[in-house]
Amino acid sequence: MLEWLTGNISHSLALRSDAWHMLADGGAIILALSANWLACLTFRRKLPGNPRFDMIAAAFNGLGLLLMAGLILVEAIGHLRQPPQEILSVPMLITATIGLLINLVGAALLHGNIEDNLNVRGAF
């Protein structure tokens, strides 16, 4: 939310699109954790048909990424139709640097389990 707000204030399409991207990442992680939890339940209790929750969650994450790309495209088209505005680079740079550090920490946390789970690999 703070990244999107700073993107609006600083007139930065990059920050606004990254804010949407971070929202999608958060949703993808919640979906992956939920799928992992459901998959653990299926191993404990044999459900009929042995549903593959991890594959279903990965498909939903892929669809979510396509939806997010469409939203970013709509923002970009709207940005191109407006007259150019001066980008306030200092707030944009500070916010982007904080976002990069958060992404690096997340990547470091996910890297250890990248081969174990399809959803973790997708989140990474």
Residue 44 pLDDT > 70: no
Q: For residues 80-94, give the mean pLDDT.
A: 84
Q: For residues 89-102, give the mean pLDDT.
A: 88
Q: Has this prediction a pTM greater than 0.85? A: no
17: nearest Cα among 94, 95, 89: 95
Structural domains counted in the chain:
1
Residue 41 domain boundaries: 2-123
